[in-house]
Amino acid sequence: MRVSTSLFQDLATNRILDQQARLSDIQQQLSTGRRILNPSDDPAGSARALDLAKSIDTIESYNRNADFAESRMNVEESALTEVGNVINRIRELAVQANNASATADDRQKIGAEVRERLDQLVALANSTDGNGEYLFAGLSSRNEPFVRRNGEYAYEGDQGTRHVQVGPNRQIETTHSGYEVFLKVPDGSNGYVSEAGNGNTGTGIVSAVNVADASIANDPVYDISFSETPGGAMEYTITDGSGGTVAANVAYQEGEPIAFDGLEISIEGQPEDGDSFTVDRAGTTSLFQAVQRFTEALESARPGTDGAADFINTGNRTLEVLDNATEHLLGIRAELGGRLNRLDQERDANDAAVLELKTTKSGIEDLDYAKAVSDLNLSLTGLRAAQQSYTKIQGLSLFNYL
């Protein structure tokens, strides 16, 4: 086969160019540290690496969500800590005001501070997360949750809870609604609430309910009404919610337990004819309304003994609600702490998954430097050989032998 000079030139040039291109690829691999520079270098490996990169991005987005959730929960935790501090201060003031030695002037001064503390509570309930969103508004996070209207505190949020995806199979709640935190404070004690009637004129102060036998108590509401006998003694009659008589015309003895249907209360002081007390199943109450009622009782305190029993009964009910609110908040904070722990666990799992995926991805697309350097030397040798042979052969001519 005859090889023309032009064909020889083309073949030799192409070999040199191929060697240079190969050398350039190896140099680029060494400079980037990557084996796959283009999908065509390894189509299957490139597709696998792309899938792994997408998985890594997804899991890292879960971690960003977790960071957001942690930040929001930490802000809520801080707000709830402050709420607890304010409740403790209001309780201290309530104990002072309920002291028998406290005067009407003392109580009115205490009322001024309790009013300030109530405003502080509402401000904390309207806390934001730093992004302009209200912590305790539920899913209506752009609306201020608590607004005072006609002397009452209205909740303008909802009962929804925001969830954030923090793992492939894990969502986590980031906050509690204001309804759950501030409006669902357990009422009463031992499952019951005892209250004095609004129109009472005597000095009777009712105790909390003691449940002697829960299996007997079967009615949600009991009314204890007092009447004066012709001889001037006081007696009481107990009726249930349906109007049935539980006990009738029982002689009243101050401080002695009044027992009925497995329940017990005691009344200190002297009720007047027509006074009444109720025992009801405990439900939930608004922290704001309980403090508001106590504030109004403090601000309207009168000198002397007139209305003293009514005030003490209100104070005792307030202390009961405040103690329940403290326990309620501790439960919410414990739940919040549990969420933060689960968040840490999920983040650790995400980090481990990302590390494993990155290791797999690295094994597919990262460069084997020892092999690359060997290939580089081999390509350099091949390029030099091609260049030298081309130079020598190009110099050959028949004229040299004439």
pLDDT at residue 303, rounded to an integer: 73
pLDDT at residue 109, rounded to an integer: 95
Neighbouring residues of 368: CB distance < 8 A, sequence distance ≥ 6: 35
Q: Is 279 helix (H, G, I), strand (E, B) or coil?
A: strand
CB 46 within 8 A of CB 326: no
pLDDT band at 47 (very low <50, low <70, confident <90, very high): confident
CB 279 within 8 A of CB 266: no
Instruction: Give the number of other Cβ atoms within 10 Å of residue 275's Cβ.
Output: 24
pLDDT band at 5 (very low <50, low <70, confident <90, very high): low
pLDDT at residue 35, rounded to an integer: 58
User: Mind listing the pLDDT tens digit for each residue in 96-105?
Assistant: 999 888 888 9
Q: What is the sign, positive or negative, of the torsion defined by CA atoms of 175, 178, 182, 185?
A: negative
**What contacts 24+ positions apart, CB below 8 Å, involve 321-325?**
321/185, 321/187, 321/285, 321/287, 321/290, 322/87, 322/90, 322/91, 322/94, 322/290, 323/91, 324/185, 324/186, 324/187, 324/188, 324/189, 325/87, 325/185, 325/287
Closest CA to 387 of 2, 3, 15: 15
pLDDT band at 107 (very low <50, low <70, confident <90, very high): very high
Instruction: Give the number of other Cβ atoms within 10 Å of residue 94's Cβ.
Output: 22
For residues 49 and 13, the model is more confident at: 49
| For residues 1-28, average pLDDT | 59
Residue 241 lies in a domain: yes
User: Mind listing the pLDDT tens digit for each residue in 344-356?
Assistant: 999 999 999 999 9
Tell me, yes or no, whether 205 and 274 share the same domain.
yes
Bridge partners of 149, per DSSP, are: 152
Residue 128 lies in a domain: yes
Instruction: Give the number of other Cβ atoms within 10 Å of residue 188's Cβ.
Output: 22
Residue 129 lies in a domain: yes
pLDDT at residue 27, rounded to an integer: 60
Tell me, yes or no, whether 118 and 168 share the same domain.
yes
Tell me, yes or no, whether 176 and 68 share the same domain.
yes
Residue 397 lies in a domain: no
SS3 content of the chain, % helix, strand, coil (to 5): 55, 20, 30
Tell me, yes or no, whether 171 and 107 share the same domain.
yes
User: Mind listing the pLDDT tens digit for each residue in 151-175?
Assistant: 889 999 999 888 999 998 899 998 8
CA distance 201 to 298: 18
Q: Is the pLDDT of residue 297 over 60?
A: yes
CB 318 within 8 A of CB 151: no
> What is the DSSP code (8-state) at residue 101?
T
Whether the model pTM is above 0.85? no
Tell me, yes or no, whether 94 and 135 share the same domain.
yes
Q: Is the pLDDT of residue 191 over 70?
A: yes
Tell me, yes or no, whether 101 and 208 share the same domain.
no
User: Mind listing the pLDDT tens digit for each residue in 250-280?
Assistant: 999 998 999 998 899 999 999 999 999 999 9
Of 96-100, 193-197, 391-395, which gets the smallest average pLDDT?
Answer: 391-395
For residues 117 and 103, the model is more confident at: 117
For residues 84 and 215, the model is more confident at: 84
pLDDT band at 358 (very low <50, low <70, confident <90, very high): confident
pLDDT at residue 124, rounded to an integer: 97
For residues 225 and 149, the model is more confident at: 225
Closest CA to 380 of 35, 15, 19, 25: 19
Q: Is the pLDDT of residue 193 over 90?
A: yes
CB 250 within 8 A of CB 234: no
Phi, psi of 153 (to 5 degrees): -100, 110
Tell me, yes or no, whether 117 and 59 share the same domain.
yes
Kindly state the percentage of the chain with pLDDT values over 90: 56
Q: Is the pLDDT of residue 181 over 90?
A: yes
Tell me, yes or no, whether 99 and 77 share the same domain.
yes
CB 163 within 8 A of CB 173: yes
Radius of gyration of the chain (CA): 41
Tell me, yes or no, whether 247 and 273 share the same domain.
yes
Residue 369 lies in a domain: no
pLDDT at residue 212, rounded to an integer: 82
Q: Is the pLDDT of residue 1 over 60?
A: no
Residue 30 lies in a domain: no
CA distance 247 to 238: 5
Q: Is the pLDDT of residue 28 over 70?
A: no
CA distance 86 to 328: 14
pLDDT at residue 43, rounded to an integer: 76
Tokens of 66: 């977790």
CA distance 319 to 95: 8
pLDDT at residue 396, rounded to an integer: 54
Structural domains of the chain, count: 2
When the pLDDT of each residue in the chain is averaged and rounded to a whole number, the result is 85
CA distance 265 to 209: 5
Tell me, yes or no, whether 181 and 141 share the same domain.
yes
Which bin fits 138, alpha (ψ -120 to 50), beta or left (φ > 0)? left
Q: Which of 353, 370, 397 is the last residue before a domain boundary?
A: 353
Q: Which of 310, 330, 353 is the last residue before a domain boundary?
A: 353
CATH number at residue 164: 1.20.1330.10
Tell me, yes or no, whether 180 and 327 share the same domain.
yes
Closest CA to 204 of 258, 243, 250: 258
Tell me, yes or no, whether 104 and 158 share the same domain.
yes
Q: What is the sign, positive or negative, of the torsion defined by CA atoms of 80, 288, 220, 189?
A: positive
| For residues 93-118, average pLDDT | 93
| For residues 105-130, average pLDDT | 95
Residue 20 lies in a domain: no
CB 354 within 8 A of CB 112: no
CA distance 279 to 214: 14
Please give the residue range of the domain that contains residue 262.
Answer: 192-282
Closest CA to 314 of 84, 97, 65, 92: 97
Using CA atoms, how far residue 205 sits from 187, 228, 268, 269, 333, in Å, is 18, 18, 5, 6, 34
Residue 278 lies in a domain: yes
